[in-house]
Structure formats: C-alpha cells, structure tokens
Amino acid sequence: MAKSPGSVVVLFNALSEEGYDELKHVDPTTLGFEPEYDIAVSTVSEEYQAIVTALRGEGWKVRSVNLKDDLKVLERVVKRNRPDVVFNLVESFRDEPEFESAIPAFLDLYGVPYTGATPLSLSICRRKGLTKRILQSHGVPTPKFLSLWEPKVSLRHGLKYPLIVKPAREDASAGLDAGSVVADRPALLVRLEHMLHEFGGPVLVEEFIEGRELHVAMLGNDPPEMLPPLEYDFSELPEGEPAIISYAAKWNPLAEVFHRVITRCPAPMSRTLQRRLAKACLGAWHAVGCRDYARLDVRVSKKDEPYVLEINPTPDLTEGVSFMESAEEVGLTFPGTMARILEMAMERKTVWPPPPLDANAPKPVEMGPMGPLGSLTPPAPELD
Ligand SMILES: Nc1ncnc2c1ncn2[C@@H]1O[C@H](COP(=O)(O)OP(=O)(O)O)[C@@H](O)[C@H]1O
Ligand SMILES: [Mg+2]
C-alpha cells in the first residue's frame, strides 16, 4: 500500500445539534408551498464526518476530535499523539465566536501546522467594519457605510438610500430579515435601534447594492486561484421580500424563502466583470491576509461594479455547498480539495519548525483549570 501522506486531526467544537432531528420528520406536503431543496439538512457533525471519510479515502491517517469546550482535549491533541497537521474547523469556544482565533494561536504556540487563516485574519474578518476600513485603505471597493454604537444618525450622513442595517460582528446572516433594507430615515432609526437592542454595537448601516450577488471561492497560495463564482438568484422570491440572503433563506428549510433563493454556478459574466472581480477579490484576500482557502461575498451593481461585502476566511466546506460547488466546476473533487488544503498546511511545517519538545527543557507553565467561563476575556469592544 502507498505511504500515507501524514496523520491529521480534524478538529471541531460542537455541543448540541438540537432541532436537526425534528426536520427529519417534517412532511413536505404540509408546508403550504413547493419546497425546492431537502428539508432535512445535514448536521454539523455529519459535515465534519464527511471530511474525515474523504481524507481517509485519500490515504491520510485521520482522527476526529470534538473539543466540546474542553481545553484539556486541545492540550492532549498537541502534547500526546501529536498529528502532522490539524484540519481546523473550530468556529467558537464556550459559545464565544471571538475565541475562534485563540485555537489557531494555541496551535501556533505549539508549532502544529493547521489549515486555513491565521488568528489575526480570523479576528479581523469577525469585525465587518474593521475589515471594510482595511479594504478601503487598500483600494478594494466595498459599500459606503457607517459603524454605529448608538441609535442616532447624523442628518447629513452622506449615504444613499436604500440602506441595509446589519450587526457588525455576526455572521451567517444573523439579524437579516424582511425589515433589514430601509428606504427612509424613520425606518432606518427604528431598525438601527432594533439591531442595537438585539445584538449590541456596532451596527453597520451600509448602502444597499441593488444588483447581483456572487460568492467567490478562492483556493491556494502565492497566488490564490479565483474559482468560478456562484450566483444567488433572487428573482423567485415572494413579493415584498428584499433581494438578500436573509437568516431564514439561509437556515430555515421550513420557510418559503429558503426554497426561493436559487444558486447558479458558474455565474455568467462578461470579461470586464471577471477582471474587476478578480482584482477586487485578490486585493481583499491580501489586505486581510487570507490563507489556503476563503470565500468572499460580493454584490455587483447595475453598472457591473463589484463591491466586497465581507470575507469568510474559513468558509463552509460541505460538499455541494457554495465553496465546493465552485471547486467542482473546475474539476476538483471533495476529497481532492480537502487533501489539497491539508497539503498546503503541511508545507508550512518546513518554514515554521515546531519548537523542540525536549524532555530536559524547562517545563512550560501548566495551564490552570479554567473557571466555568474561563479566564480568557474577549478583546475590548471599542474597535469596529
Ligand atoms: N450592502 C449590501 N448590499 C446588498 N446586500 C447586502 C449588503 N450587505 C449585506 N447584504 C445581504 O445580506 C447578506 C449577509 O450579509 P453579509 O455582509 O455577507 O454578512 P453575513 O453573511 O456574515 O451575515 C448578503 O449575503 C447579502 O445578501
Ligand atoms: Mg456573508
């Protein structure tokens, strides 16, 4: 048998999967509309398991590790039975998304190579306002915006209606629904107050780009390759629903909007748009220091000008979903793509040698038991 390319820990942090089971028992004829997609969506554990199976099929020695919010489990990964590389799929810790970046920081300290973005990139991209300021300073087009902590907006704010109001530090369409797009000042103030109340500050008030929505998957390093973009088509949405990927459209298979946003890959586009898109996305990738893979969410104005909304440095890799749909367009398979991402991480080992784990070296400070909420505190809230 051929030599294994290496040992890998597929690392994730999942505590409960409430709700998924109920979806398996829904009778689609009772919904009151014709569903386009399956009602029973796969659970996160099933998605991670698919990566494990795919990598085993490619010859890797794979262990899957669920942190279950326990730091000791993470310590065991790096101290005992240390893998050649970690496939990092951790998105939060102790229900705190800000701790997403602490996991790769920990792996960096122990010199264990891992897939995907650095702690710094992850932290930047969690803050949409900060990301947009960085994009602006690099000349990457992003919609004009305000970042607000209070339910007050200057009369001369300089933004053109319609505007979209969204939490600055959430992801996955949290807080986005039929009321997110506002056409005038009274509606803006009501929505802003509501978002501040629901999510806290800052809240982004952003020019709404009427036009197409493209999600751009990028893969590789030096330089990354822009894969064929995927388009979200809103033309089938019921009357009155704004052309956005709302929370329900993204997550609720029992809602009609979930079945009325249709994806198309590759998105048809002119050579000019292709060129502009590649320039904007490559600029954005470098501006925030992406690595290995990423997905950029982009709106395209009626004049075919792309605007980067946000950067997802470690996007969902589920087979058949956004990133992988684009990868499959260029002939990449799911196992092949997972293996390629791992290989890129493994290559870094040579440029970042792990510190010696020498038995005679002074013992590292033992990490004390963490309190119920741990002694780590999320970073100060002042930044965007
Ligand atoms: N400025 C904007 N113009 C048009 N649509 C927007 C704008 N900002 C957000 N949206 C819509 O809201 C969705 C979610 O916003 P996004 O900034 O990608 O945040 P996230 O995906 O992290 O929740 C987008 O996919 C898009 O449909
Ligand atoms: Mg998005």
**pLDDT tens across 263-290, in order?**
999 999 999 999 999 999 999 999 999 9
Torsion of CA 141, 147, 151, 153, to 10 degrees: -60
Average pLDDT over residues 323-347: 97
Ligand closest to the CA atom of residue 241: 1
- CA 169 – ligand 1 centroid, Å: 12
179/164 Cα distance (integer angstroms): 9
Local confidence band at 18 (pLDDT 50, 70, 90 cut-offs): low
Local confidence band at 33 (pLDDT 50, 70, 90 cut-offs): confident
Tokens matching residue 374:
């741990």
- CA 46 – ligand 1 centroid, Å: 27
CB-based contact 324:293 (threshold 8 Å): no
Contacts 24+ apart (CB under 8 A), 336-340: 336/58, 337/219, 338/51, 338/54, 338/55, 338/58, 338/87, 339/5, 339/54, 339/55, 339/58, 339/60, 340/219
- CA 89 – ligand 1 centroid, Å: 23
- Separation of CA 211 from chain center: 22
CATH of 7-116+336-351, one of 3.30.479, 1.20.950, 1.20.120, 3.40.50: 3.40.50
- CA 288 – ligand 1 centroid, Å: 19
A 10 A CB-CB count for 105 gives: 14
Local confidence band at 251 (pLDDT 50, 70, 90 cut-offs): confident
240/283 Cα distance (integer angstroms): 35
Ligand closest to the CA atom of residue 309: 1
DSSP state of 98: G
**pLDDT tens across 122-172, in order?**
999 999 999 999 999 999 999 999 999 999 999 999 999 999 999 999 988
Question: Is residue 379's pLDDT more than 50?
Answer: no
Ligand closest to the CA atom of residue 261: 1
Q: Work out which ligand 1 atom sits closest to the CA atom of 172.
A: 23
Tokens matching residue 37:
């997609």
- CA 171 – ligand 2 centroid, Å: 7
| Mutational pocket test of ligand 1: of 244, 298, 311, the residue with most ligand atoms within 8 Å of the beta carbon | 244
Ligand closest to the CA atom of residue 247: 1
**pLDDT tens across 72-120, in order?**
999 999 998 899 999 999 999 999 999 999 999 999 999 999 999 999 9
- Taking CA atoms only, the protein residue closest to ligand 1 atom 26 is 244
- CA 245 – ligand 1 centroid, Å: 7
Alpha-carbon separation of residue 305 from 69, 129, 205, 217, 297 (angstroms) = 43, 21, 20, 18, 14
43/66 Cα distance (integer angstroms): 14
- The rounded percent of the chain whose pLDDT value lies above 90 is 73
Q: Mean pLDDT in the chain? A: 89
| Mutational pocket test of ligand 1: of 297, 312, 322, the residue with most ligand atoms within 8 Å of the beta carbon | 297
- CA 72 – ligand 2 centroid, Å: 33
| Mutational pocket test of ligand 1: of 166, 195, 237, 241, the residue with most ligand atoms within 8 Å of the beta carbon | 166
Average pLDDT over residues 352-381: 47
- Taking CA atoms only, the protein residue closest to ligand 1 atom 27 is 244
Q: Cβ < 6 Å from ligand 1: which residues?
A: 143, 164, 166, 170-174, 176, 206-209, 213, 244-245, 297, 299, 309-310
**pLDDT tens across 319-332, in order?**
988 999 999 999 99
- CA 109 – ligand 2 centroid, Å: 30
- Taking CA atoms only, the protein residue closest to ligand 1 atom 11 is 244
Domain assignments of the chain as residue spans, ordered by start: 7-116+336-351
